[in-house]
Structure 1
Amino acid sequence: MASDDVVGGSNTVAFRQTPPLYAESKEAAVSTFVNLAEEAKLASEGVKAPGHAVLTICKSLFAGGVAGGVSRSAVAPLERLKILLQVQNPLHRKYNGTIQGLRYIWNTEGLRGLFKGNGTNCARIVPNSAVKFYSYEQASRAILWFYRQQTGNEDAELTPVLRLGAGACAGIIAMSATYPMDMVRGRLTVQTENSPYQYRGMFHALSTVLREEGPRALYKGWFPSVIGVVPYVGLNFAVYESLKDWLVKSRPFGLVEGEDLSMVTKLACGAAAGTVGQTVAYPLDVIRRRMQMVGWKDASSIVTGDGRSKAPLQYSGMVDAFRQTVRNEGFGALYRGLVPNSVKVVPSIAIAFVTYEALRDLLNVELRISD
């Protein structure tokens, strides 16, 4: 009490001013504590960030790989028939259409014949699809960042042309990374009992091609593949994402505002994307497949000038392959196998997109391709 009594006069005023000063110091202390807590949180997140980023990447790659494997296995018989139609000898045709071709394979080779080469196809398409989806996400984010920097609009969104560019980048990266497997998969799919080489599997085919034809043979047809993948994969992503974006914003056909797009709607978007992409890029796929067969004796042949004999196909390059194909078999040969390919691509692309997004939602990956 003695000390309290001493406080008086002007000191009393000082005593009365103490509470607001105390409150300010308290607020400063709380603010400092919050800042320290936030810094500690950020530091903690910085330690966890690399592991979290790796986990996110692994989830994305896993979702893309599974999506590719499921979609291709679902249409494996049509995939094999498409390749057989593309490379069959025009002098001795065995496959004249989708139904007849599937029936012929079933009668001559059974159920296993319908899925011949699918194991190798999945071994190729799983990493290809994983890299493709992940590359698209990264490319689209980089392109969007650059686009916003150039325009100065932080709210800018990807346009269909920018999505096409991101899809083209993803397709080129994925195709180049897995092209040797695609090359030997084509040969495994085409080979029969009369084929010059009997490949026992993907690794045996790879080693045989390396030994007999050299390492460059593993990239036969790579250039037309690069050109073909730009419109194909690019249009797949661009059409799919743009259609979804339009449906979300405009809500036509009775779609309810605020609701997510249904699986059926997403499948329809994927089907439209696959139809557009494969129609534009199909001739390049035919040329790529034919160039892959060069060097494999008697695997493919052309009718010579006398109209009766045949000679092995030899191409000096992509342009020469186009010229020879059109000259010897007509322009329609560039679209041979388009019908079974259309029946295959439409559900395949749709299943791949929907499976990928469903798995990413299931795995709680923060970013989706739509983001």
Structure 2
Amino acid sequence: MFGLLWIGAVPFSIGCYAVYVNLDKLWQERHVRFTSLQNFINGCLAAGVAQTLSFPFESVKKKMQAQSFLLPHCGGVDVHFNGMIDCFKQVIKNKGVMALWSGLTANMVKIVPYFGLLFSCFEMCKQVCLYRNGYIISPLSYKPKPGVDQSLGPYELQEFKHYLRNRKSHKAQSSSIGNRW
């Protein structure tokens, strides 16, 4: 039964994150970040799209969890599925394709504002962390601090790979990154 939990959660989570990141890329101007309201709207749109696309999996998961061999004493339904594919087939055959989205509206009322707030808080926390670590001048903007190089060039990447390869050996490296790690 634990495997059923992943049927609805994984497609939704992947879809929500993918939509949010693509909305951020689509509407973002260079060096300008969204306000909290814009992040809230992006989060709401991402959750709405992801929930609509992944809801059939959630619906099938709930139908499979509700089936019971101990009917009618335990409150389960008197339908038995042989697996996820069989559940999809039976629902479409008996109730039509739209039955897979039955209950979507009530779920949207719950999910959409939650993810709007979640992504707004995520962006605010990201700004605060960047500010506290000295990368930006203010937690209210993404303007980089003067003199801070935020790029990781090929030399730094090579040095980091070299460190990772040799970190188990206790020999002192002459690398400048070796002393910092």
TM-score by length of 2: 0.62
Residue in structure 1 matching 2:83, options 192, 201, 211 = 201
What is the distance in 1 between the residues matched to 2:84 and 2:59? 10
Aligned mates of 2:90, 2:130 — CA distance in 1: 51
Which whole-Å CA distance do the structure 1 matches of 2:127 and 2:60 have between them? 38
Runs of 4+ in 1 over 3 A off after TM superposition: none
State which of 16, 23, 26 in structure 2 corresponds to 1:142.
26
Q: Distance in 1 between matches of 2:134 and 2:32?
A: 21
Q: Deviations over 1:205-231 (max 9, x none)?
A: 111111222222111111223333320
Aligned mates of 2:11, 2:43 — CA distance in 1: 16
Q: C-alpha displacement at 1:124, in angstroms?
A: 3.3
1:127 to 11, 17, 29: 11
Q: 1:187 to 1:132 in 2, by over 3 A?
A: same
Distance 2:5 2:83 in 1: 11
> Aligned partners of 2:5 and 2:86: how far apart in 1?
15
2:7·2:61 contact (CA, 8 Å) conserved in 1?
no
| TM-score normalised by structure 1 residue count | 0.32
Take 2:47 and 2:36, find their aligned partners in 1: how far apart are those partners? 16
* 1:52 paired residue number: none
Q: Cα deviations across residues 178-233 of structure 1 (Å, max 9, x unaligned)?
A: 11111111122233222311222211111111122222211111122333332022
Whole-Å separation in 2 of the counterparts to 1:236 and 1:200: 37
- Larger Rg: 1 or 2? 1
Q: CA deviation at 1:258?
A: 4.1
Hey, what's the Cα distance between the residues in 2 that align with 1:185 and 1:128? 13
Q: Do the aligned partners of 2:40 and 2:116 also contact (CA within 8 Å) in 1?
A: yes
Amino acid at match of 1:121: L
Q: Within 5 Å, which residues of 2 pair with 1:45-194? A: 116=1, 118-145=2-29, 155-193=31-69, 194=71
Partner of 1:233: 115
Separation (CA, whole Å) in 2 of partners of 1:206 and 1:241: 38
Aligned to 1:360: none
Query: Are 1:167 and 1:238, in contact at CA under 8 Å, matched by a contact in 2?
Result: yes
Aligned partners of 2:91 and 2:100 also within 8 Å: yes
User: Counterparts of 1:131 and 1:203 in 2: how far apart (Å)?
Assistant: 21
Shift in Å at residue 170 of structure 1? 1.1
Partner AA of 2:117 in structure 1: L
- Report the aligned-residue RMSD: 2.1
* Structure 1 contact 120–202 (Cα < 8 Å) conserved: no
The structure with the largest helix share of the pair is: 1
Distance 2:85 2:3 in 1: 12
Letter in 2 for 1:159: T
State the 1:244 CA deviation.
2.6
Query: C-alpha displacement at 1:235, in angstroms?
Result: 1.5
2: CA distance, partners of 1:230 / 1:209: 26
Matched AA of 1:131: G
Contact residue 8 and residue 54 of structure 2 kept, 8 A: yes
**Unpaired segments of 5 or more residues in structure 1?**
1-115, 146-153, 252-256, 260-371
Aligned-residue sequence identity (percent) comes to 22
